[in-house]
C-alpha cells in the first residue's frame, strides 16, 4: 500500500473531532463490492462492510440505481406526510415478519430505533426499568446509551434511572467463573435474581442483540433465548431484539430471531436495512401500537419517514431475495469460520473463534491458559493487515482491542475470503515472530 501523505492526514486531525479514538491511517476515495480504494487506486479488502452497514457490498449496483432514481422524486417531507416508498417498505417488511410484528416506523439510526422501542415499552407497561446485557451497545443517544453497557459510560454524568444489567453469556470468559466453555444459563438465572433485588417494581423491557457485537461477538443460543423469554414473561418485561447487525441475512436467515422459538415484542433494525444508507426501523404489534397511540405516543424527528431513505430499504429486500444472500451468508460464513479455526491451530495468540454466519469474532490473547486479552497485539495485527491490504475491525480505544469483529459483505466471493485469510495469517506472523 502507498503511505498516506502526512499533510493530508494532518488536515483531518486538525479539523475533525476524534469520536472513536484515533482515525485509521487510510483515506478512502471510493468503494465498490468488497473493496475500498485510496486516491491512488490501491485496493483494500474490507472485512467490516464499512460500519457493518454495506451488507450487500459497497455501492451495490441496485443501490446506486435507486440512488439516481430516488433523487428525482421526493427526498424529504414533513414527518406527518407519507410517501409511496414508506408505505411499500412497511408492507414489505411486515410481510417478512410474524403476524405479531405488524406496525413499523422508519428512522435513520440504530440509536433512534431503540429509543422508539424503549419509549413505547415504557408507555405501554407504565414501568421505566430497562434491562441490558454487559458489554452491549444499543446506541449513543441518551436513552439507548443508558442501556448500553460497553465502555462508553464513564465521564458523562448520570444515566436514565431504571438502567439495569445482567451478565452476557460469554462462554470463553464466564462472567461468574462457573462454566467451562459451554454456557448452562446459570449466569442468566443469577443475573435476573440480581436485577430483581435492584428493581423498584417498575419493569418495562429487556433489550438484547441476538449476537452481542461490541461485547465480544457473543451469540445468544436458542436454549438461552427460550429461558430468557420465560423469565421476561414472569416479570411482565417486554422483549426487544436489536438486530442492527444481525438482520437481512448476515446470520443465514432474513432475521436472526428466526432460529429461535421466540418472537420479540419489538424488533429494531438499522445498519443492514439501508444497504449503506441511513435507514432504521422499529416494528411492534398492533396491540402495543394501539395502546401507545391511545396514550398519546409521540416520536417526531426531522427525518422520520423520509421517502429517499425508505427507497433503499425496498432495494435491500430485493437484493437479499434475488441473490439468495441469506443462504450465501450461511455457506460463506461456515467456510470463513473453518479457515479461522485453522488459523487458531497455527497461531497461539488466537484464543477463541466464535460467531455465526458472516458475523464472526477472533479473540487475541497473550496466553491461552490465562486468557489475558492482548490489546496491543490486536492493534498491531490490525495495522499490519491494513498495510497488507485488508481492513479489519478492532475498535481503536483502550479496552476494546482484543476481539476482531469480522463482518464482510454477503456478496464476498470465496476467493476474496481466501485472500483475506492469507493476509490475516501473514499479519499475525509478522507481528508475533
Q: Which residues are catalytic?
A: 137, 209, 242, 245, 271, 405
DSSP helix/strand/coil, 196: helix
Query: Where are the alpha helices (H) located in 304-359, listed in sequence order?
Result: 307-322, 325-346
Q: Are 217 and 360 in contact (CB under 8 A)?
A: yes
Report the C-alpha gap between 217 and 86 in whole angstroms.
33
Burial class (CB in 10 A: 0-12, 13-18, 19+), 306: buried
Residue 133 carries which DSSP code?
E
Query: Where are the alpha helices (H) located in 71-141, listed in sequence order?
Result: 84-95, 110-125
Q: How would you classify the pairing of strands 129-133 and 35-37?
A: unpaired
What DSSP element (H or E) covers 225?
helix 222-235
Q: What pairs with residue 238 in β-bridges?
A: 205
DSSP helix/strand/coil, 11: helix
Q: For residue 302, how far is the Cα from the chain centroid?
A: 24
Report the C-alpha gap between 264 and 208 in whole angstroms.
10
CB atoms within 10 A of CB 68: 8
Amino acid at each position: 500500500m502507498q503511505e498516506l501523505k502526512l499533510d493530508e492526514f494532518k488536515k483531518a486531525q486538525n479539523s475533525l473531532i476524534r469520536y472513536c479514538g484515533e482515525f485509521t491511517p487510510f483515506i478512502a476515495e471510493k468503494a465498490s463490492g468488497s473493496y475500498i480504494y485510496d486516491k491512488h487506486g490501491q485496493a483494500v479488502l474490507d472485512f467490516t462492510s464499512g460500519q457493518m452497514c454495506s451488507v450487500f457490498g459497497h455501492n451495490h449496483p441496485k443501490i446506486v440505481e435507486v440512488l439516481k432514481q430516488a433523487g428525482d422524486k421526493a427526498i424529504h417531507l414533513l414527518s406527518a406526510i407519507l410517501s409511496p416508498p414508506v408505505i411499500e417498505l412497511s408492507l414489505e417488511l411486515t410481510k417478512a415478519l410474524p403476524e405479531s410484528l405488524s406496525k413499523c416506523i422508519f428512522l435513520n439510526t440504530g440509536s433512534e430505533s431503540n429509543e422508539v422501542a424503549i419509549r413505547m415499552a415504557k408507555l405501554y407497561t407504565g414501568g421505566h426499568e430497562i434491562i441490558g446485557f454487559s458489554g452491549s451497545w444499543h446506541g449513543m443517544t441518551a436513552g439507548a446509551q443508558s442501556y448500553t453497557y460497553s465502555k462508553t459510560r464513564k465521564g458523562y454524568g448520570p444515566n436514565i434511572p431504571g438502567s439495569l444489567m445482567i451478565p452476557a453469556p460469554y462462554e470463553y470468559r464466564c462472567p461468574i467463573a462457573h462454566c467451562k466453555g459451554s454456557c448452562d444459563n446459570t449466569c442468566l438465572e443469577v443475573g435476573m435474581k440480581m436485577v430483581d433485588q435492584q428493581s423498584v417494581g417498575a419493569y418495562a423491557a429487556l433489550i438484547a442483540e441476538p449476537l452481542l457485537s461490541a461485547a465480544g461477538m457473543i451469540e445468544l443460543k436458542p436454549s438461552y433465548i427460550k429461558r430468557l423469554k420465560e423469565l421476561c414473561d414472569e416479570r411482565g418485561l417486554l422483549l426487544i431484539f436489536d438486530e442492527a447487525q444481525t438482520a437481512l441475512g448476515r446470520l443465514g436467515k432474513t432475521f436472526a430471531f428466526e432460529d429461535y422459538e421466540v418472537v420479540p415484542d419489538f424488533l429494531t433494525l438499522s445498519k443492514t436495512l439501508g444497504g449503506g444508507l441511513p435507514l432504521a426501523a422499529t416494528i411492534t404489534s398492533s396491540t402495543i401500537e394501539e395502546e401507545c397511540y391511545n396514550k398519546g405516543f409521540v416520536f417526531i424527528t426531522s427525518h422520520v419517514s423520509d421517502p429517499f431513505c425508505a427507497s433503499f430499504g425496498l432495494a435491500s429486500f430485493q437484493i437479499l431475495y434475488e441473490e439468495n444472500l441469506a443462504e450465501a451468508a450461511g455457506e460463506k460464513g461456515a467456510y470463513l469460520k473453518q479457515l479461522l479455526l485453522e488459523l487458531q491451530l497455527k497461531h497461539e495468540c488466537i484464543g477463541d473463534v466464535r460467531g455465526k454466519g458472516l458475523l464472526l469474532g477472533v479473540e487475541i490473547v497473550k496466553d491461552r491458559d490465562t486468557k489475558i486479552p492482548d490489546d496491543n497485539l490486536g492493534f498491531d495485527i490490525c495495522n499490519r493487515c491494513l498495510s497488507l491490504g485488508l481492513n479489519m475491525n478492532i475498535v481503536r480505544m483502550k479496552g476494546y482491542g482484543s476481539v476482531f469483529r469480522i463482518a464482510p459483505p454477503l456478496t464476498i466471493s470465496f476467493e476474496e475470503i481466501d485472500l483475506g485469510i492469507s493476509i490475516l495469517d501473514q499479519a499475525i506472523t509478522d507481528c508475533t515472530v
